[in-house]
Amino acid sequence: MNLDKINEAIATSKVFFGKVTKIGREKTEDGVKDYMTTRIESNDDLNGSVCRIYMEESDDEMDRRSLLPLLDSEIPFILIGNDVEHNVLIGSRKQAQRILKERLIARASNGQVLDAKIVKMMNFGAFVEIDGVSGILRTTDFSTDHSEVDEYYSVGDTVKVLCRDISEDGRLSFKAETLHTRKQPLVYDVQEDQICVGVVRSIRNFEKGHVAFVRIATGLDCLCSMPTEMEVERDARVAVHITSVREREDDHQLNVRGRIVRVY
C-alpha cells in the first residue's frame, strides 16, 4: 500500500465509500471486539485496499448491538489508522457520518432539493438516506391524503426531498418536493363479521392495554386488542375478525376494529 496516500487520507479525513463484505470478531486482551470489513472504492492507489471498522466506530446515529444489518451495504468511512502487522487499514464510519452530516445540513439549510434513498418502510413513513446520512420522511410530509410511501415506492428507490427540520441533536426530517395524492380514491370491501388476513404493522400500549395495528388492505389498518392466548409480534401475518367498521365524518376514512384470531 502507498503509505503517503494513506497518511494523506488520514490527515485530510477524506471520505471513502465501500460495501461491507464481512463481519468478524477479534479476541484482544480487553475482550472480544466486533468489526466489519470493506474495501476502498476510489480512482487512486488506495483502490481495493481492505479497511476494518470496529463496533465503536460503526455508527454516529445509534448505539449498535450488532453489525449484521450493515452487511452487504455501501457505507461511508474515513481512515483513522494503519495496522501494518495485519496489512489492513482502520476506518471509522461514525466520523464519516459526522462529516457528511455537516455537509448535508449546509445543503439542506439552503433549500436544495436532495435525492434520498429509501432504506426502510415504517408505519409512520420511511427512513431515507442521503450520502450515508439517515433521516425521516413522514407520511404527513409525503402526501396530501394520508397515502403512504410504500404505495408509490419500494426500498432502494430514490425520492426527491427538501429538509423539513433539523432537531437540536442533529436528526434530520424531510418532506417530499412534490406532495403525492392518489389519482383515484381507494375503495374497500370491508364489512363487519368478515375474517381477513393482514400484517401487524405496530404494537402500542394504551391505558386499557396493548393493541395491534394490522394492515388489512392498502392504506387501511384494523385496530385489534392483543390476544392473551397467543403471541403476536410486529410484522407477523395474522387472521383478523372484523367487529366494527365506521366512517369518520371529517375525512371519510374508515375506522376498523377487530380481534386477532390466528397467527401464521
* pLDDT tens profile 173-210: 999 999 998 877 777 888 999 999 999 988 988 877 89
Q: Are residues 10 and 90 in the same domain?
A: yes
Closest to 54 measured CA to CA, from 28, 81, 19, 92: 92
Domain-embedded: residue 102? no
Q: Are residues 75 and 121 in the same domain?
A: no
Domain-embedded: residue 182? no
Domain-embedded: residue 54? yes
Phi and psi dihedrals of 139, rounded to 5?
-55, -40
Per residue in 38-56, pLDDT tens?
999 887 788 889 999 999 9
Q: Are residues 17 and 89 in the same domain?
A: yes
Q: Are residues 121 and 153 in the same domain?
A: yes
Domain-embedded: residue 186? no
SS3 content of the chain, % helix, strand, coil (to 5): 15, 45, 40
Give the pLDDT of residue 97: 92
Phi and psi dihedrals of 236, rounded to 5?
-75, 145
pLDDT > 70: percent of the chain: 99
pLDDT at 251 over 70: no
- As for how many domains the chain has, the answer is 3
Domain-embedded: residue 69? yes
pLDDT at 249 over 80: no
Where do we find the cell 434530520?
A: 172
Per residue in 116-156, pLDDT tens?
999 988 878 999 999 888 899 999 999 988 888 988 999 99
Q: Are residues 136 and 77 in the same domain?
A: no
The answer to whether the beta carbons of residues 91 and 77 sit under 8 Å apart is: yes
Terminal CA-to-CA distance of the chain, rounded, Å? Answer: 54
The residues with which 260 forms a beta bridge, in sequence order, are 240
Indicate the SS3 state at residue 136: strand
Give the pLDDT of residue 257: 95
Domain-embedded: residue 211? yes
Give the pLDDT of residue 29: 83
71 secondary structure, DSSP code = T
* Domain end marker among 149, 176, 203: 176
Q: What is the mean pLDDT of residues 205-216?
A: 88
User: Which residues touch 165 (CB under 8 Å, ≥6 apart)?
Assistant: 172, 173
Give the pLDDT of residue 28: 83
3-state secondary structure 158-214: EEEEEEEEECCCCCEEEEECCCECCCCCCCCCCCCCCEEEEEEEEEEEECCEEEEEE
Instruction: Please give the order of strands across the beta sheet that includes 22-28.
Output: 16-19, 74-83, 88-92, 50-54, 31-39, 22-28
pLDDT at 250 over 80: no
Record the cell numbers describing residue 221, joined without a space. 389498518
Give the pLDDT of residue 1: 67
Predicted structure pTM score: 0.69
Find the CATH number of the domain harbouring 226.
2.40.50
Average confidence score pLDDT of the chain: 90
Q: Are residues 171 and 200 in the same domain?
A: no
Q: Are residues 118 and 46 in the same domain?
A: no
Domain-embedded: residue 134? yes
Find the CATH number of the domain harbouring 16.
2.40.50.140
Domain-embedded: residue 184? no
pLDDT at 12 over 90: yes
User: Which residues touch 57 (CB under 8 Å, ≥6 apart)?
Assistant: 80, 91, 92, 93, 94, 95
Q: For residue 82, what pLDDT band results from cuts at 50, 70 and 90? A: very high
Torsion of CA 207, 211, 217, 219, to 10 degrees: 40
**What is the chain's length?**
264
Domain span holding position 226: 195-263
